[in-house]
């Protein structure tokens, strides 16, 4: 594996090996000395052409724990905001000797363009491209689900996941549909019809417009951020109405099975798609998703840059 | 004075009759068994197909305004290479061709280049804004004698503006060429809306946005009894509406581009904007419906929608990239591949769809007579036995945005004659046209 552009490029074994590597690395993270020397002398560039705090920090922490040198390159104040093309930026990074570029970009396919056009020789890691994919988020979500509900299995066979909210504009949803179904989970998308893409019928999922009919049937409820501005684009009549039908509040949470968990990729709109009580409840693994994110991103960097997955230690 | 008399020996007329053709003084002088005279240049074209010179009803020549991506001269040379003897210069230049001054300039540049006729298309509305009618009458009466009007690139979406335009052009039997795209249904659209766009996260351009405008406009033109032409039909549903309209006797004609006869939306999987075009590439089902419609005459013509763009507008992210692809030099080969080799059409039908029918729609009278004695000698010769590989670095267009780079295509255009003068000889475009 040279790049991580789409979950669609992974087979089941590759996906599981990243999760397993993350398990191994998490043992190190939990220890006294959090740092590994694996990527000493390697340079990783965080090219964030779109605002994102948590993903950038997560990748930065992951790279630093593997002893890589990290250069942060953000849109604001950089040449990207002055109209420099992606091509010129990539060639600049290449000239600076980047071994890997972690790219967040508002254009779907930007990461693949960067990789395909050979503008630079290093690895390309997609940290979210437009409304296309967010593979590292899906991997950390799968990692979190497996940890809580996997019962020791390597994949997610038989686990039922509801992804709730704005599927149409969600790169998190696209990557999760691919990864969770690759790992054997059953996925149901819950959304108003306006926020599902035409063509969703070809996805390996079931569709529901009725959150209440689904909520007692699933092991995982994954809430997606809903942007307020979607309202002005006529996707739903009002934030309150959206919240009433598709928000996760305490009453709905009470109907979830006892073991079921609540997830959210962040940042949350408390009071819109998720109530504060739910977000802060014992069912919520939202904060844990963040810490798992660092381990999973370490695993991604490890697999791409250190020449393969970390072997499971025997104990 | 150079020799402008040619005898094409052993020509296969429209792929059928074996014959010689004598070209002299700008016209087809004789068809049959021609006696060789000393003054004529004899070209033996045994095994090759002779067609009436190709006529394109939809070309973006970019001049005035974007001479870095194409000029009237470079488009003319690319056209000659592809077998064309007439182009129709779309109005979306800078300044827009919405006055007599601009269309006369483009017309004159075409005459000066001399490779083919450049017929300017006038804008329907001022600055392509879709609000006020452009100087339609002045353009029609200018030396360019504009008969085709289009806001191509934009849809004339306001039904009242469309109605008035259709009515106004009846004065001189003009035609409105509509770019059928409902604007509200296509805000920010990037590619065909369907399975592929859903997965790629690119904003969809639904087929209905084309079909809704076609449906409205065939009803409008029926009501006001004028002439409507639908640019670049791309959908099976659009074909059905046009078929219905023609069955009712409504005066509508339609075009399909070579790329919509061959390419499909799954090419967007690469995120390579070389495949980004407006209207977008559709599905296999649409492609098959378009081929069938072209064969049965529901779609009247093939038009290139040749759309040159400078490299930086394609060497970027998909959503940042410009819409459009070049097509003059590959059009006949694509039609050969998709329509003739598939046995959907014969060469006589190719001559109709790429020469005679577009000339009739545009009232390009000197191009509408086909291969007849006494007609202006606009002639295209294609060798159907040879294949060629498209190389974007060898195109005569000033832009390289061909989606066929590296593709092997059948049929090589070997000679083009415009008004009896060779513009392409043995696959080489002549360096200068001596009229």
Q: Quickly list DSSP for A81-109.
A: GGT--HHHHHHHHHHTT-SEEEEEESSTT
Laid out side by side, the sheet with B54-55 consists of B54-55, B84-89, B117-120
Q: For the CA atoms of chain A, what is the radius of gyration?
A: 19
pLDDT tens, residue by residue, B271-321: 999 999 999 999 999 999 999 999 999 999 999 999 999 999 999 999 999
Within 8 A of A113 by CB-CB distance, chain B residues are: 271-272, 316-318
B interface with A, Cβ–Cβ < 8 A, is 193-204, 206, 270-272, 312, 315-320
Both tokens of residue B267? 């090419």
Residue B301's beta-bridge partner residues? B255
Domain-by-domain residue ranges, chain A? 7-133+290-305, 135-289
Domains A7-133+290-305 and A135-289 share a fold: yes
Instruction: Compute the distance between CA of residue A206 and CA of residue A192 in angstroms, rounded to an integer.
Output: 14
pLDDT value at residue A313:
54
What confidence category does residue B401 fall into, taking pLDDT thresholds of 50, 70 and 90? very high
Q: Which residue of chain A is at minimal alpha-carbon distance from B185?
A: A233
How many other CB atoms are there within 10 angstroms of residue B187's CB atom? 8
State whether A86 and B317 contact (CB < 8 Å): yes
Q: Residue A205 is inside which H or E element, if any?
A: none
Please report, rounded to a whole number, the percentage of residues in chain B having pLDDT higher than 90.
95
Quickly state the pLDDT bin for B3 (edges 50, 70, 90): low
> What CA–CA distance (Å, rounded) separates B119 from B361?
12
Residues 54-93 of A with CB under 8 A from B: 85-87
pLDDT mean over B194-206? 98
pLDDT exceeds cutoff 50 at B1: no
Name the H helices within B236-283: 236-247, 258-262
Residue B4's pLDDT is what? 80
Q: Read off the pLDDT of each residue in B97-119 and give the average, rounded to a whole number.
A: 98
pLDDT tier, B328 (very low <50, low <70, confident <90, very high otherwise): very high
| Cross-chain CB nearest to A109 (options B203, B315, B318) | B318
Contact B201 A203 (CB under 8 A): no
Nearest to B81 by CA among B387, B395, B385: B395
Q: What is the pLDDT of residue A89?
A: 84
Angle formed at CA A294 by CA A289 and CA A295, multiple of 5 degrees = 95
What pLDDT does residue A50 have? 86
Fold of A135-289: Rossmann fold (3.40.50)
Which pLDDT score is estimated for B38? 74
Read off the pTM: 0.95
Within 8 A of B197 by CB-CB distance, chain A residues are 197-199
Q: Which of B242, B236, B238, B233 is nearest to B260 (CA)?
A: B233
Taking CB atoms and an 8 Å limit, are B270 and A116 in contact across chains? Answer: yes
CATH topology of domain A7-133+290-305: Rossmann fold (3.40.50)
Q: Which residues of A touch B270 (CB under 8 A)?
A: 112, 116
Mean pLDDT of B381-388: 98
Mean pLDDT of chain B: 96
The pLDDT value recorded for residue A314 is 47
Res A310: pLDDT: 78
**How far does CA B273 lie from the centroid of its chain?**
22
For A199: left if phi > 0, alpha if psi spans -120 to 50, otherwise beta; the answer is left
- CA gap A141, A133 in Å, rounded: 14
Which chain A residues are Cβ-neighbours of B272 within 8 angstroms? 113, 116
ipTM for the whole predicted complex goes beyond 0.90 = yes
Six token digits for residue B315: 């060497």
Low-confidence ranges of chain A (pLDDT < 50): 314-315
**Overall size of chain B counted in residues:** 435
As a whole number of angstroms, the distance between CA B118 and CA A191 comes to 53
The alpha carbon of residue B192 is apart from the nearest alpha carbon of chain A, in Å, by 10
Nearest CA to CA, how far is A8 from chain B (Å)? 10
Burial call A15-53: b when 16+ CB within 10 Å, e when fewer: bbbbbbbbbbbbebbeeeeeebebbeebbbbbbbbbebe
Average pLDDT over residues B363-384: 97
Instruction: Give the model's pLDDT for residue B78.
Output: 98
What pLDDT score was predicted for residue A67? 96
Phi first, then psi: what are they for A100, rounded to 5°?
-150, 150
Catalytic residues of B: 305
Give the closest-approach CA distance of B394 to chain A in angstroms: 21
pLDDT in tens, A171-225: 999 999 999 999 999 999 999 999 999 999 999 999 999 999 999 999 999 999 9
Residue of chain B whose alpha carbon sits nearest to that of A109: B271
Q: Which of A230, A132, A206 is nearest to A172 (CA)?
A: A132
Residue A78 has a pLDDT of 58
Percent of residues, chain B, with pLDDT higher than 70: 99
Burial class (CB in 10 A: 0-12, 13-18, 19+), A266: middle
Residue-range domains of chain B with CATH: 53-367 (3.20.20.140)
- For the cut 70, the answer to whether the pLDDT of residue B256 exceeds it is yes
Contacts of B319 in chain A (CB under 8 A): 107-108, 130
| Predicted pLDDT of residue B385 | 96
């Amino acid at each position: 594996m040279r790049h991580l552009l789409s979950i669609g490029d992974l087979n089941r074994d590759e996906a599981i090996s990243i999760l397993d590597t993350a398990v191994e690395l998490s043992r190190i993270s939990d220890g006294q000395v959090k740092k590994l020397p694996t990527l000493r002398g390697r340079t990783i560039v965080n090219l964030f052409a779109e605002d994102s705090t948590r993903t950038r920090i997560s990748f930065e922490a992951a790279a630093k724990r593997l002893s890589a040198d990290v250069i942060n390159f953000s849109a604001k104040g950089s040449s990207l905001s002055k109209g420099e093309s992606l091509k010129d930026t990539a060639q600049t990074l290449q000239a600076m000797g980047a071994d890997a570029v972690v790219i967040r970009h508002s254009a779907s396919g930007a990461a693949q363009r960067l990789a395909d056009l050979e503008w630079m020789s290093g690895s390309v890691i997609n940290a979210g491209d437009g409304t296309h994919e967010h593979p590292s988020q899906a991997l950390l979500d799968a990692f979190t689900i497996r940890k809580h509900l996997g019962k020791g299995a390597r994949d997610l066979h038989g686990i039922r996941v509801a992804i709730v909210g704005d599927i149409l504009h969600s790169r998190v949803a696209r990557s999760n549909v691919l990864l969770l179904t690759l790992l054997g989970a059953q996925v149901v998308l819950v959304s108003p019809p306006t926020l599902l893409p035409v063509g969703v019928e070809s996805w390996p999922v079931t569709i529901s417009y009725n959150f209440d009919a689904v909520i007692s049937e699933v092991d995982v409820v994954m809430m997606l951020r809903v942007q307020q501005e979607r309202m002005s684009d006529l996707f739903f009549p009002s934030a309150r109405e959206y919240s009433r039908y598709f928000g996760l509040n305490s009453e709905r949470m009470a109907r979830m099975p006892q073991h079921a968990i609540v997830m959210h990729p962040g940042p949350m709109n408390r009071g819109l798609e998720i109530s504060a009580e739910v977000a802060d409840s014992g069912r919520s693994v939202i904060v844990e998703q963040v810490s798992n994110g660092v381990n999973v991103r370490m695993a991604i960097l490890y697999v791409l840059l250190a020449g393969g997955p970390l072997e499971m230690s025997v104990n | 004075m150079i020799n402008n008399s040619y005898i094409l020996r052993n020509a296969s007329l429209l792929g059928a009759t074996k014959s010689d053709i004598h070209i002299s003084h700008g016209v087809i002088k004789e068809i049959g068994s021609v006696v060789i005279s000393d003054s004529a240049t004899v070209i033996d074209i045994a095994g090759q197909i002779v067609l009436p010179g190709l006529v394109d009803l939809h070309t973006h020549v970019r001049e005035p305004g974007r001479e870095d991506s194409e000029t009237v001269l470079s488009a003319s040379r690319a056209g000659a290479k592809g077998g064309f003897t007439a182009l129709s210069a779309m109005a979306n230049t800078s300044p827009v061709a919405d006055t007599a001054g601009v269309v006369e300039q483009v017309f004159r540049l075409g005459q000066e280049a001399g490779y083919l006729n450049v017929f300017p298309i006038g804008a329907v509305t001022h600055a392509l804004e879709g609000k006020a009618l452009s100087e339609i009458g002045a353009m029609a009466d200018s030396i360019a004698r504009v008969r085709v009007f289009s806001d191509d690139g934009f849809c004339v979406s306001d039904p009242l503006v469309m109605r008035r335009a259709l009515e106004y052009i009846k004065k001189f039997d003009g035609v409105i060429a509509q770019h059928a795209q409902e604007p509200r249904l296509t805000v920010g659209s990037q590619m065909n809306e369907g399975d592929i766009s859903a997965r790629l996260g690119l904003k969809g351009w639904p087929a209905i946005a084309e079909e809704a405008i076609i449906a409205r406009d065939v009803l409008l033109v029926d009501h006001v009894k004028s002439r409507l032409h639908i640019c670049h039909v791309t959908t099976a549903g659009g074909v059905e509406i046009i078929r219905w309209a023609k069955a009712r006797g409504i005066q509508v004609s339609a075009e399909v581009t070579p790329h919509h006869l061959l390419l499909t939306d799954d090419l967007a999987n690469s995120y390579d904007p070389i495949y980004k075009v407006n209207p977008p590439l559709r599905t296999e089902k649409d492609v098959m419906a378009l081929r069938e419609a072209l064969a049965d005459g529901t779609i009247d013509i093939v038009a290139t929608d040749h759309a040159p763009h400078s490299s930086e507008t394609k060497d970027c992210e998909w959503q940042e990239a410009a819409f459009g692809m070049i097509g003059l030099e590959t059009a006949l080969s694509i039609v050969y591949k998709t329509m003739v080799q598939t046995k959907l059409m014969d060469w006589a039908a190719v001559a109709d769809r790429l020469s005679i029918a577009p000339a009739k729609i545009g009232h390009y009278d000197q191009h509408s007579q086909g291969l007849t004695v006494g007609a202006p000698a606009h002639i295209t010769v294609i060798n159907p036995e040879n294949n060629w590989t498209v190389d974007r670095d060898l195109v005569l267009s000033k832009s390289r945005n061909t989606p066929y780079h590296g593709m092997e295509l059948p049929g090589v255009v070997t000679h083009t004659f415009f008004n009896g003068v060779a513009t392409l000889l043995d696959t080489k475009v002549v360096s200068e046209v001596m009229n």
